[in-house]
Amino acid sequence: MNTNETQKELFNRYYDLLIDWNERINLTAITDKDAVWLKHFKDSVSISNIIDMNKVDSVIDVGTGAGFPGIPLKIMYPHINLTLLDSLDKRVKFLNTVIDELELNNVYAIHGRAEDIAQDNSYRERFDLCVSRAVASLPVLTELCVPFVKVGGCFVSYKSEKAKEEIIEAGKAISILGASLSDVKEFNLSDDDNLRVLIKLNKINSTPKNYPRRAGIPGKKPIK
């Protein structure tokens, strides 16, 4: 991960805030600095393996948690307009602190569930790119994320070893929700690190208005 001095400083400040807040709310089980850089920061920006972020303007990170992958992407690609979505208010307060302390422009943290926010016309089909990392299985994620993406945009899911099985399981959901499987990239963050997989879905048609279904339903009854 090639960073300039400004980016290194921002990542270091982000790390300090992450560790400080982690003592009060559960943000990450990984706290060693080198491990955070590898497994959170480098992993977040690995999207460059599958998409040219310089051509992306608007991004929404669904289920962002402590801000991964959204905030590392903003640090590396400061031109993007970024929306961070999380269902836990405490995490959103942490994200707003990071945004303020790092003086990040055009970054907005919102509290809510994807099922509800995706039905809001201010967010529905408004983004060039939706990203999600370590949130749910691909059939569920497809329903939660694809509705945010404008036709011609894409959704990238960060996954691990079981990605191939999830892609097969998500086939019906991908089709119903107006997307198509575009690309799958497998890689390792380091020589001794586990396999990572990036799954790219292109949005080819508008998502039917009845998706996503009510909060909680996609997780309980995935489209299969």
Specify which residues 30 forms β-bridges with.
none
Q: List the chain domain ranges.
A: 5-220
pTM exceeds 0.85: yes
Predicted confidence (pLDDT) at residue 51 exceeds the cutoff of 90: yes
Predicted confidence (pLDDT) at residue 164 exceeds the cutoff of 90: no
| CATH node for 5-220 | 3.40.50.150
Name every residue whose Cβ is closer than 8 Å to that of residue 114 and which is 6 or more positions away in sequence.
62, 63, 85, 87, 144, 145, 148, 212
Name every residue whose Cβ is closer than 8 Å to that of residue 8 and which is 6 or more positions away in sequence.
none
Please, are residues 170 and 138 in contact by the beta-carbon 8 Å criterion? yes
Q: Which of 38-52, 56-70, 78-92, 152-166 has the lowest mean pLDDT?
A: 152-166
Report pLDDT digits (tens) over 32-45.
999 999 999 999 99
Report pLDDT digits (tens) over 107-145.
999 999 999 999 999 999 999 999 999 778 999 999 999
Report pLDDT digits (tens) over 55-66.
999 999 999 999
Task: Look up residue 45 and give its two tokens.
Answer: 């920006």
Rounded-to-integer distance, Cα 166 and Cα 159, Å: 9
